[in-house]
Amino acid sequence: MSLFGEPESISRVARLEFYRAFYNPLIVVVVFYLLFIAFVNGVGSRYFFQYFEGEAFDVVTRVGLDNVFYIISIVCTIAAMFLGVTSIVGDRSDNIFKVVLTKPLYIRDVIIGKFLGICAFILTLAFTTLATCSIMEMLFYGLPGSMGEFMLRFGSLVLLLFFECSLVSGIAMLVGLVFKNLLDSVAVTVALFFIDWYGEALTGRMGLLYTFISPWRLYFNAFEGDGHFLLTDTTVAYASWLNAALPYIGLMLLETLVVLAISCLVSIRMEE
């Protein structure tokens, strides 16, 4: 039995999970909240951006993307966490896993399919939200100095957020596999989220280890170009930012694959 399943079964589960996330009531609320933020930010940009005119950087790229960076990041991360843990625990509580044990659809295929479906939805959510914010800013304030430069950095930000959310959803799914109870799974996932994002007193003692294993720290280090080259700062060459960010991007992708592989191994044990 291969570790990463059958493509046809996986793609079918991925499509179902994407639509399941799309119609999730909580996610609908999240989408409307993000669109509200986009509208308010767009209206405010008409007045707020004027204070930065004359600066060396492009206002729409630097200030516009920075304004919504944190709030959109945290909301998308919470959405990825919620979808990841409930996709596993919800199906387990409904005894769906007992059904899929009948071949040729393995739990392993379901795990990978669900992960890919959630990732596809999160990518859609991140792109749509950031694009809406940027369009609103351009409508109320004006176009960026260089549309090509803006699109390059905008696309990179979408991908960074997608990578971070993919890692978070993968971890949440693994928690859902390990802890069979919904309450336990949610409690552990929420605790991990707050420790990662707000537990500096605890994580600070971990030193470099925290830097290398934390989704939040990897994401922000990539965004900030290891603290030297901010992605949205157009006075910094894009290549300089990319060179500084690549190690953290690579770690995010590697850790995502490791977490997914562990989830597959756990699911294979469940089938035995």
Above pLDDT 90, what percent of the chain? 43
**Beta-carbon neighbour count of residue 170 at 10 Å?**
26
Write down the residue that tokens 């859609």 correspond to. 124
Could you report how far apart the first and last alpha carbons of the chain are, in Å? 12
- Give the angle 117-265-17 at the CA atoms, nearest 5°: 15
Domain of residue 213 covers 7-271
Q: Is the pLDDT of residue 164 over 60?
A: yes
Q: Which of 91-105, 136-150, 158-172 has the highest mean pLDDT?
A: 158-172
* DSSP H helices in 1-64: 7-22, 25-48, 59
Q: Is the pLDDT of residue 73 over 50?
A: yes
Determine, yes or no, domain membership for 67: yes
Determine, yes or no, domain membership for 21: yes
Q: Is the pLDDT of residue 162 over 70?
A: yes
Task: Provide the strand spans (E) within the chain.
Answer: none
Number of domains in the chain: 1
Determine, yes or no, domain membership for 91: yes
Band (pLDDT 50/70/90 cuts) for residue 99 is very low
Determine, yes or no, domain membership for 2: no
The CA-based dihedral angle spanning residues 248, 256, 20, 25, taken in that order and rounded to the nearest 10 degrees: -50
Q: Is the pLDDT of residue 98 over 50?
A: no
pLDDT of amino acid 161: 96
- Cβ contacts of 151-155, under 8 Å, gap ≥ 24: 152/238, 153/61, 153/65, 153/231, 153/232, 153/234, 153/238, 154/61, 154/65, 154/130
Determine, yes or no, domain membership for 220: yes
For residue range 202-222, list pLDDT tens digits in order: 555 666 666 788 888 899 999
pLDDT (mean) for 165-177: 92
CA neighbor of 184 nearest in space, from 174, 172, 192, 176: 176
Determine, yes or no, domain membership for 124: yes
Q: Is the pLDDT of residue 90 over 80?
A: no
Band (pLDDT 50/70/90 cuts) for residue 55 is confident
pTM of the model: 0.88
